[in-house]
Structure 1
Amino acid sequence: MKIFISVDMEGIWGLSAKGHVSKESNEYSRTRSLMLQETNWAIEALFKNGATEVVVNDSHDSMDNIMIEGLDPRASLITGQFKPFSMMEGIDETFDGVMFIGYHSRMGTENGIYNHTYSGKTIEKIIINGKELGEAGINAGVAGYYGVPILVVSGDDKLALQIKEEIGDVEAIVVKKAISRFCAHNIPMNSVKEQYCSIIEKAIKNITQYPVLTYEGEINIEVTYNMEIMAEQATLIPGVIRKNPKTIVISSSDYISLFKLFRGCLILGGSI
């Protein structure tokens, strides 16, 4: 059984302050250790319940946060940049399931801790076929393209509600309750560890029952930027249509091609 784990940082247990997720902060060395610790909890539970291979993709910021020397040696690690599939680098049809660890709610979520969608400095919202999605929902489409289900997502209580809406009936590990953008009520560590044990055990036992997010026919992604100039810059890419001053639309019947085009629009639009 082969499992893919995408690990972000904002939804990790114990993290809430502005500096906790930044390399420029004095807190970074400590908080990246918490990121590593939580990743190892997941890996341990997966192997305990029958996984034979686990691939971890470091998915936060520069994507080189996880200290490989501390990672459970049974797992492999994808780290660094540039990654064509970004937070989903390494996924393909050979996997049996996907976990999202340390994820967060989408931009605009009331009181969601660190809420943003791919780039808080650039993106206001992303809508796919009429439905607003955060990073979990967008990335689930990449897994779905290869027929791989989303099993478990971990983060705050706001994210736990959103994943049901964006992806379907997946398991949620709630590690903290959101009070405000930079304030959390962290659940006791032993309770979080127990959730990783019990919920992953349940997920593996029922692995065929979890949703595979797929799209049929034409797929439309609307990207609304924070500034008009960002949308204008994105229209330099062929096939990008400007819907209004801050919003562009891209379309394709192939989700992976569209995801890569979205990534290009994100990079170009945010380059000012």
Structure 2
Amino acid sequence: MPKVLISVDMEGVSGIVHSVETNPDRYDYERGRALMTGDVNAVVAGVLEAEPSADIVVVDAHGPFRNVLLEELDQRVRLIRGRPRPGGMLAGLGNDVDAVLFVGYHARAGTGPAVLAHTISGDALGVRLNGREVGEIGLNAALAGQHGAPVVLLSGDDAACAELRELVPEASTVAVKRALGQLAAEVTHPAIARDRLHQGAAHAIARRAQVPPLLIGGPVALEVDLYNPVAVDMATLIPGVERAAGARTVTFTARDVAEAYNVVMLLLHLAQVKNG
């Protein structure tokens, strides 16, 4: 019985192009939640078509981590929701996970054209592991890789799909929209997108043995460019975090990807304190 982890973000979901559809205090959020849940269900159906005995855990990985409509979610899966929690966007990840799927993911900060591109929050201008620029796709793929789990599928816009293929060329991708800018895309009808997601997930799970995990050995040199200089001042209070040349970059040498991941999350948590 393979164990499958599905991490679902929101910006890369079918049809979504604006923060009014992803932000809980904005007017179109409930519609965004419905689109998100529909995409997840399509992927779940595809996984179970290929592996009827699969043990599937869905991880709500956007914003407050309380977005997927539980009542509308496929009853054959378990859902992880709420924060704070260990593992962040990959809560529930362990050495027993056989495959990871990213649904509704978006490209990293600085990418364009790309719908709602950012890295975790607007507070991060850039994140690098051993000198390589990564966003949420790279960070999460590397964390999964540390546990021996390959990322076999990603859905999102064409920029997000390209980002995963740069890291894991063997992975499958499903582009549910073509980015025209930060807040614009050419989209397909949700029913068509979900059919593609269903087929893509089935294909990805069937060939999971052909996809290697993304492995980044330790120690890991972490660099984070922060938008707010005050956040840099606060970050240097963390043992091991140092200010690099320039006003906005901090560095940290982590034992492994998991430690680097946790430091990134902590740094961006501190960055939310805007005025010290």
Q: Same fold (TM over 0.5)?
A: yes
Gap runs ≥5 in structure 2:
none
> 2:182 maps to which residue?
181
Instruction: State the secondary structure of the residue aligned to 2:107.
Output: coil
Q: Distance in 2 between matches of 1:103 and 1:21?
A: 12
* 145-154 or 180-189, which deviates more: 180-189
Deviation of 1:250 (Å): 1.0
Match of residue 67 from structure 2:
65
Q: Deviations over 1:76-110 (max 9, x none)?
A: 00001111211111111111100000000111111
Equivalent of residue 90 in structure 1, options 87, 92, 95: 92
Q: Unaligned 5+ residue runs, structure 1?
A: none
Taking the TM superposition and a 5 Å limit, the aligned residue runs for 1:210-225 are: 210-225=211-226
Equivalent residue number for residue 111 of structure 1: 113
Q: Percent identical across equivalent pairs? A: 31
Deviation at residue 168 of structure 1 after TM alignment: 3.4
2:15 is equivalent to residue 22 of structure 1: no
Give, as a single letter, the amino acid of the residue that structure 2 aligns with 1:152.
L
SS in 1 for 2:116: coil
8 Å contact kept, 1:177–1:187: no
CA contact under 8 A between 2:218 and 2:257: conserved in structure 1? Answer: no
Distance in 1 of aligned mates of 2:185 and 2:80: 29
| Native 8 Å contact 2:155 2:197 kept in 1 | no
Say if 2:50 and 2:203, in contact at 8 Å, map to a contact too: no
Does the residue aligned with 1:32 lie in a helix, a strand or coil?
A: helix
1:33 is matched with which residue?
A: 34
Structure 1 residues 251 and 168, CA gap change in structure 2 (3 angstroms): farther
Q: Distance in 1 between matches of 2:75 and 2:199?
A: 22
Aligned to 1:262: 264
Q: TM-score, normalised by structure 2?
A: 0.94
> Is 2:143 the counterpart of 1:147?
no
Query: Is this contact kept in 1: 2:107–2:159, CA < 8 A?
Result: yes
Q: Secondary structure at the match of 1:102?
A: strand
**Equivalent in the alignment of 1:128:** 129
CA contact (8 A) 2:236 2:242 kept: yes
Q: Is the 8 A contact 1:12 1:34 kept in 2?
A: yes
Q: Deviations over 1:33-88 (max 9, x none)?
A: 11001100011111111142110110010000111111100000000111121111
TM-score, normalised with respect to structure 1: 0.96
Check the 8 A contact 1:128/1:221 in 2, yes or no: yes
The one of 247, 250, 267 aligned to 2:249: 247
CA distance in 2, matches of 1:202, 1:44: 12
Using the alignment, how far apart are the partners of 1:142 and 1:92 within structure 2? 10
**Range that drifts further, 76-85 or 261-270:** 261-270
State the 1:196 CA deviation: 1.8
Corresponding residue for residue 78 of structure 1? 80
For 1:69 and 1:14, locate their aligned partners in 2 and report how far apart those are by CA, in whole Å: 21
How has the CA–CA distance of structure 1 residues 167 and 126 changed in structure 2, closer, same or farther, with 3 Å as cutoff? Answer: farther
In the alignment, is the contact (CA less than 8 A) between 1:55 and 1:76 conserved in 2? yes
Structure 1: 4+ residue segments shifted above 4 A: none
What is the CA distance between 1:31 and its match in structure 2?
A: 1.3
C-alpha deviation, 1:260, in angstroms: 1.4
Deviation at 1:239, TM superposition (A): 0.5
Shift of residue 190 of structure 1? 4.0
Counterpart contact for 2:138–2:164, Cα < 8 Å: yes
SS of alignment partner, residue 105 of structure 2: coil
Q: Deviations over 1:196-220 (max 9, x none)?
A: 2322222122111112011223211
How far apart in 1 are the matches of 2:169 and 2:230?
35
Letter in 2 for 1:20: E
Q: Secondary structure at the match of 2:244?
A: strand
CA RMSD of aligned residues (A): 1.3
Q: How far 1:179 sits from its partner (Å)?
A: 0.9
The letter of the residue matching 1:85 is G
